Amino acid sequence: MVFETSRFGLLEYEEEKVITFSGGMPGFKKYQNYTIVVIEESPFHYLQSVEEGALAFIIASPFDFFHEYQFDLPEQLIEAMSLHSKEQIQVYNIINVQGELAAATMNLAAPIIINTTDRTGMQYILPNGGYSIHQPLFSKRVSVGGE
């Protein structure tokens, strides 16, 4: 399929690779279908809405930047997303770039969980404020304890 985006112009994507966020993304409940635009040889990708061409998030695997990053998913979320093994889970976090890339931050408090088998996803807000929503991407240590 082909879709007009503000960032990429005409974007071709495979319908079977669309990821459905049944409740949308926080703040964007209306838009539930996304595709990942892979940036070759880069840890950064885009989570592009296929319903709104101007809506895209820069994402990356948190494990590429923060090897000690970890969290547990509640059993009800595991069941709701039909997650049967770790192999079918992909985790991304949203990157915020205001100005230079060197000052970019990652939202570690709300990972995006994707079931790679059935192509569903959700942004899960971690309880207890254990991680920062503005973790400097190029810092060597993860800030624990909130913003």
User: Tokens in use for 68?
Assistant: 């000690």
- Give residue for tokens 């985790």: 91
Contact between 134 and 105 (Cβ < 8 Å): yes
Cα atoms in the 13 Å half-sphere on the side-chain side of 112: 28
User: Is the pLDDT assigned to residue 14 strictly greater than 60?
Assistant: yes
Residue 61 burial (C-beta neighbours within 10 Å; 0-12, 13-18, 19+): middle
Strands (E), 33-125: 33-38, 44-49, 56-60, 89-96, 105-106, 112-115, 120-123
Virtual CA dihedral for 39, 109, 135, 101, nearest 10 degrees? Answer: 20
pLDDT band (50, 70, 90) for residue 101: confident
| Cα–Cα distance measured from residue 137 to residue 120, given in angstroms and rounded to the nearest whole number | 26
User: pTM of the predicted model, to two decimals?
Assistant: 0.89
Domain assignments of the chain as residue spans, ordered by start: 2-136
Question: Cα separation of 37 and 39, whole Å?
Answer: 6
Structure tokens at 25: 């993304």
Q: What is the mean pLDDT of residues 42-51?
A: 96
pLDDT digits (tens, 9 = 90+) for 68-95: 999 999 999 999 999 999 999 999 999 9
The tokens describing 20, both together, are 């459905």
Write the single-letter amino acid at 15. E
Q: What is the share, in percent, of the chain residues with pLDDT greater than 70?
A: 94
The fold of 2-136 is BH3618-like (2.30.290)
Q: Is 147 exposed, middle or buried (0-12, 13-18, 19+ CB in 10 A)?
A: exposed
